[in-house]
Amino acid sequence: MKAILIAILAWFIFPNCAIADPDVKYFITKIGTLGGRSSTAYAINNMGQVAGSSTLDVYGNTHAFVGDGVSILDLGTLGGWSSASGINDLGEVVGTAVPSTGAPYSAFFYKAGAITDLGALGGTASVGMGINNKSQVVGNAYTSENRERHPFLYSAKTMADLNPLPGGQSTAAAINIIGQVAGSINNNAFIYSDGVMTDLGKLDGLFSQAAGINDIGEVVGNIYYGRGGFNDSWVPHAFFYFAGSMVDIGTLGGRASNANGLNNLGQVVGNAFTLGDAAQAGFLYEKSLMIDLNTLIGDAKGWYINDAVDINEHGQIAATACKAGFGCQAVRLDLINQIPEPGSNVLLLIGLTAAFFTWYNQEHRHSGIGMMTSESVHTARAAEIHGLRRLLCKMPLSARQADSRTGCLDLTGCQPLLGSTRRLWKKKQLENAV
């Protein structure tokens, strides 16, 4: 009987399941627009909410938004256009908008349906850049008579100047949960922590700028090596600052790259030019390797990822994708579920396994072999599930995709379940987890 069961197991799994492509990691979730043709992503929180800007109409009027792939919310303005640049896990948003006061532009803070002008440092303009889960906001603002641009920290309804040096044009780009701020001052990237500003350097480049910081204090940004870019612009290379050292993480084969964000796992996202500067592509950098995100997506349905702007702690990526006839829109890259629901044949196998053990118990009941107490029945049930799981996991790597968390079989591609069966399976997973 055991040999028959194993034969049935092999028959149902191998011919009926399409083996998942091990290189495919993400699928695209479109965030949408506010009625116009285009939208741009700038940030993502750990709830999967994406913040950015979207056009409203054919005239190009733009408003800040928050979207999750199901709905998209217009955050409004201060009188003119608006654009969001950061979002925390509370759904609070920071960005920049044109106010009705006549000021050219101003940093804003959005919370619970209300948008607030944060003002400036004595000047007439400011830009909101980043926010943490303590509702602390950073950006840059002009000082008196608009003579200088300084980094600021906005907390408890007060804007503080973070620039300890006179002169120069500076900005704060991001803030982590412990209040460390990353930005640039006097053409060098910095970390500001507890009143101390640390210069991160620029390797052998001309200057550097920080773009993001994680809760460990690791920073990403760009080093600029000189002119020679498009229209004789500065040529940037993405950098990753960790363990007290700055590393140039290279490109996708072209001249330039830009790092935009990172998470606490040290995964970095941005954009880079491909070989021969043929195209700009969004990238994921992890384990010392820069990867074109377009190679990690299955059926993209014509969408091309040209920029990745932020990544959360679940590995979800906020990006902008373009498609012929649709323009460019904000998207979220979601990890493909590596522990998928089983196909109907796999459920049948589980049923056959249960039937076998029921038959075996009945056959040996009178001999005493199958007599079980309620406790032993529960133990045997757990053993059955564990045994089946072990059997599935013993399939060779060449015939399966392993889940990185459990090492178990990825059955992506198996026949889909009926809705009721799917719900029953999920319920049984929770009841029978071992």
Q: What is the mean pLDDT of residues 20-41?
A: 91
Tell me the mean pLDDT in the region 382-403: 39
Strands 181-185, 188-193: pairing is antiparallel
Query: CA–CA separation, 100 vs 43, rounded Å?
Result: 26
pLDDT confidence band for 389 (50 / 70 / 90): very low
**What pLDDT does residue 362 have?**
59
Average pLDDT over residues 220-242: 84
Q: Give the model's pLDDT for residue 102.
A: 75
Could you state, in order of their start, the residue ranges of all structural domains in the chain?
2-20+346-432, 26-335
Q: Which amino acid is at 363?
A: E
Average pLDDT (103-108) is 93
Kindly report the backbone phi and psi dihedral angles of residue 377, in degrees, each rounded to the nearest multiple of 5, phi listed first: -65, -45
Average pLDDT over residues 394-402: 36
CA distances (Å), origin 345, targets 244, 267, 268, 341, 348: 53, 37, 40, 12, 5
Over residues 421-433, the pLDDT tens digits come to: 334 434 444 443 4
Whether 271 has a pLDDT exceeding 70, the answer reads: yes
- One of 3.40.50.410, 3.60.21.10, 2.130.10.150, 3.40.50.2300 is the CATH number of 26-335, namely 2.130.10.150
Q: In terms of C-beta density within 10 A (0-12 exposed, 13-18 middle, 19 or more buried), how is residue 66 classed?
A: buried
Distance CA 28, CA 303 (A): 9
The region of weakest confidence among 196-205, 241-250, 399-408 is 399-408
Contacts 24+ apart (CB under 8 A), 73-80: 74/34, 75/110, 75/115, 76/115, 77/115, 78/106, 78/108, 78/115, 78/117
What is the rounded average pLDDT of the residues 77-104?
A: 94
Q: Is the pLDDT of residue 187 over 90?
A: no
The encoded tokens of residue 145 equal 């008579």
pLDDT at 176 over 80: yes
Residue 59 has pLDDT above 90, yes or no: no
What is the rounded average pLDDT of the residues 192-214? 95
Q: pLDDT exceeding 90 applies to what percent of the chain? A: 64
* 250 burial level (CB within 10 Å; 0-12, 13-18, 19+): middle
